[in-house]
Structure 1
Amino acid sequence: MKIIVLTGPESTGKSWLAQTLKDNVGGVLVDEYVREYFAALGRDTTYEDVTPIALRQLEREDMARQQRPALLILDTHLLSNILWSRFLFDACPDWLEPALLARHYDLHLLLDPREVPWSDDGQRCQPDVRDRLAFYEACKSWLDNHGQTSRCIGGNWANRQRLALQYVTELLEG
Structure 2
Amino acid sequence: MEVSTIKKIAVVGPESTGKSTLSAQLAEHYNTVWVPEYAREYCAALTEPCSWQDEINMFHGQLKLEKELLPKANQLLICDTTFITVKIWSDYTFGKAPQEVLDELPKHTYDLYLLLDIDLPWQEDPLRDFPHLREHFMQVWHRELQSLEANYITISGSDLERLNNAINAINQYLNKY
The 1-side partners of 2:48 and 2:124 are apart by 17
Q: Deviation digits for residues 122-165 of structure 1, max 9, x if unmatched?
A: 1100111xx11111111111211221100001222222111101
Residue 82 (structure 1) aligns with: 87
1:65 deviates by 2.4
**What residue identity is the alignment partner of 1:118?**
W
Structure 2 counterpart of 1:133, from 132, 135, 140:
135
Runs of at least 5 residues in structure 2 that lack an aligned partner in the other structure: 1-5
Look up the match of 1:147: 149
Stretch deviating more after TM superposition (4-13 or 98-107): 98-107
- 3-state SS of the aligned residue for 1:162? helix
1:10/1:124 contact within 8 Å kept: yes
For the residues of structure 2 that align with 1:127 and 1:25, how far apart are their CA atoms?
A: 32
Report the number of matched residues: 171
Residue 3 of structure 2 corresponds to none
Structure 1, gaps ≥5 residues long:
none
Superposition TM-score, scaled by structure 2 size: 0.91
> In the TM superposition, what whole-angstrom CA distance separates every residue of 1:33-86 from its partner, at most 9, and x where no partner exists?
111111111232122211011101100111122445311000011111100111
SS of the residue 1:41 aligns to: coil
In the superposition, relative to structure 1, how do residues 14 and 108 fare at CA in structure 2: closer, same or farther (>3 Å)?
same
Measure the CA separation in 2 of the matches of 1:119 and 1:64.
Answer: 28
Corresponding letter in the other structure for 1:52: N
SS state at 1:3 partner: strand
Aligned to 2:60: 55
Displacement over 4 Å in runs of 4+: none
Alignment partner, residue 96 of structure 1? 101
TM-score by length of 1: 0.92
Contact 2:33 2:77 in 1 (8 A): yes
In the alignment, what sits opposite 1:172? 174
Tell me how far apart the structure 1 counterparts of residues 31 and 94 of structure 2 sit (CA, whole Å): 37
C-alpha distance in 2, partners of 1:42/1:50?
Answer: 15
Say whether residues 1:21 and 2:23 are aligned partners.
no
> Hey, what's the Cα distance between the residues in 2 that align with 1:159 and 1:45?
35
Q: Which amino acid aligns with 1:98?
A: D
Contact 1:112 1:133 in 2 (8 A): no
CA RMSD in angstroms comes to: 1.4
8 Å contact kept, 2:13–2:115: yes
Paired AA for residue 135 in structure 1: F
Q: Give % identity.
A: 33
